[in-house]
Amino acid sequence: MSNEDNQNKSVESAKTIIGSQVDAMMGLKEKNPKAFYGILAAVILPILVIMMSGGESNSVSGPTVKELAIGQKYSLKSPNTVDPSATVRLVPVPGTLAAYDDSEEADRNAECQHISQGTPVEVMEFSDFGGKKKMFVKVKVAEGKCKDKDGWVLAIDVQ
Q: Please check whether residue 94 lies inside any domain of the structure.
A: yes
The three-state (H, E, C) secondary structure of the chain, written as one string: CCHHHHHHHHHHHHHHHHHHHHHHHHHHHHHCHHHHHHHHHHHHHHHHHHHHCCCCCCCCCCCCCCCCCCCCEEEECCCCCCCCCCEEECECCCCCCCCCCCCCHHHHHCCCCEEECCCEEEEEEEEEECCEEEEEEEEEECCCCCCCCEEEEEHHHEC
pTM, two decimals, is: 0.56
Q: Please check whether residue 81 lies inside any domain of the structure.
A: yes
Do 78 and 149 fall within a single domain? yes
Do 87 and 151 fall within a single domain? yes
Q: Please check whether residue 96 lies inside any domain of the structure.
A: yes
Beta bridge partners of 137: 126, 153
- Please give the pLDDT value at position 139: 94
CA nearest to 85, candidates 122, 119, 109, 136: 119
Do 33 and 77 fall within a single domain? no
Q: Please check whether residue 58 lies inside any domain of the structure.
A: no
How many structural domains is the chain composed of? 2
Q: Which domain holds residue 20?
A: 3-52
Do 48 and 102 fall within a single domain? no
Question: Which segments in the chain show pLDDT lower than 50?
Answer: none
- Please give the pLDDT value at position 44: 92
Do 34 and 84 fall within a single domain? no
Please answer whether residues 120 and 77 qualify as being in contact, where contact means their C-beta atoms are separated by less than 8 angstroms.
no
Q: Please check whether residue 65 lies inside any domain of the structure.
A: no
Q: Please check whether residue 123 lies inside any domain of the structure.
A: yes
- Please give the pLDDT value at position 150: 92
- Please give the pLDDT value at position 93: 85
Do 78 and 153 fall within a single domain? yes
Do 103 and 141 fall within a single domain? yes
Do 23 and 85 fall within a single domain? no
CATH number, domain containing residue 121: 2.30.30
**Dihedral-angle region of residue 134 (phi above 0 means left; psi in -120 to 50 means alpha; beta otherwise):** left
* Residues whose CB falls within 8 Å of the CB of residue 144, separated by 6 or more in sequence, listed in order: 116, 119
